[in-house]
Amino acid sequence: MRLYRHFNGILQEHLGGSIAIGNFDGVHLGHQEVINAAGKIAKKQGNPWGVLTFEPHPRSYFNKDTAAFRLTPFHLKARYINELGVDFLVVLQFNHDLAKMSPEDFITAILVRGFQAKHIVSGSDFVFGNQRRGTVGFLKEKGAKLNFESVGVTQVMDGSGEVISSTRVRDCLVTAEPAEAAELLGRGFEIEGRVVKGDQRGRKIGFPTANIVVSSMMQPAIGGYAVRAGLSEGNNTIWYDGIANLGYRPTFGGTTCLLETHIFDFNEDIYGKHLRVALVGFIRPEVKFDGINELQAQITSDTGLAKLILSGKPPEFR
């Protein structure tokens, strides 16, 4: 997948394509439907398949003091889009100029002159341009005059008939329901980052952890989780079972939110390496213990529950 950060300078081989447009935070099943719809058109027409998205998320631009809400920081979003098989990804900086751009100028400058797009695919509720005046209907109207087609993909429903949305995924994570979030995403919700050195208390009590600082994305429910931890090996990711605590470590007076992951049957030095952690099942809220022995006993108990969850044998309390 080729990555572009501006609409000027698109290579000839990527002009005249079928392009999916959206913020795509989470790249959930609804987003995948939009992106794949563009792919089906591209393959049928023999044209390049692209995705256009925006960074930062417009919500962050207009509400700079808002709490972290992103399901997928850019590097994660780009990975998931790449895994769908697209030919190229264009990431436009959402800044003052783009926020003030009229829908007409967005279409003529970016979609027509920049991409020479043949097909534009978006969710049926997609809006764009200054004051969100651009709609799918507006795209279709302009496309008829400017020689491109616009397709609005109907919102995707889950098995219960509810619309799949980024908001619903966030709600599931806040209420400690990672399995339900995974059903909407089509994969486990991941937190990833470089492994940083901690206080190494876990190692002293027989549960060494790989620690990631959680700051640039939304914070799921604080507490213990059954997880799968992924480490890169060449072009592949090797997955391991484990248990993790997401929180502030109140037993030791912690103030920074960390994801501390204990990988089962693993004893390698991975400081500084990139770690992916998928939340599989919630075990318990974070609590303050009276001492190391109480903490150690709880982790031992949590480990047993995590292994049951990861084996597909749900514990009695679930």
Q: Mind listing the domains of the chain with CATH numbers? A: 2-153 (3.40.50.620), 189-310 (2.40.30.30)
What pLDDT score does 318 carry? 33
Nearest to 94 by CA among 121, 74, 65: 74
Catalytic residues: 260
Query: Any residues with CB less than 8 A from the CB of 304 and at least 6 apart, and which?
Result: none
Distance CA 18, CA 37 (A): 9
User: Cα 22–27–32 angle (5° rounding)?
Assistant: 80
* Claim: this prediction has a pTM higher than 0.75: yes
pLDDT, tens digit only, all 318 positions of the chain: 999 999 999 999 999 999 999 999 999 999 999 999 999 999 999 999 999 999 999 888 888 777 789 999 999 999 999 999 999 999 999 999 999 999 999 999 999 999 999 999 999 999 999 989 999 999 999 999 999 999 999 999 998 999 999 999 999 999 999 999 999 999 999 999 999 987 777 676 778 899 999 888 999 999 999 999 999 888 889 999 999 999 987 777 777 889 999 999 998 989 999 999 999 999 999 888 878 888 888 899 999 999 999 998 555 433
b/e sequence 282-298, b meaning 16+ C-beta within 10 Å:
bbeebeeeeeeeebbee
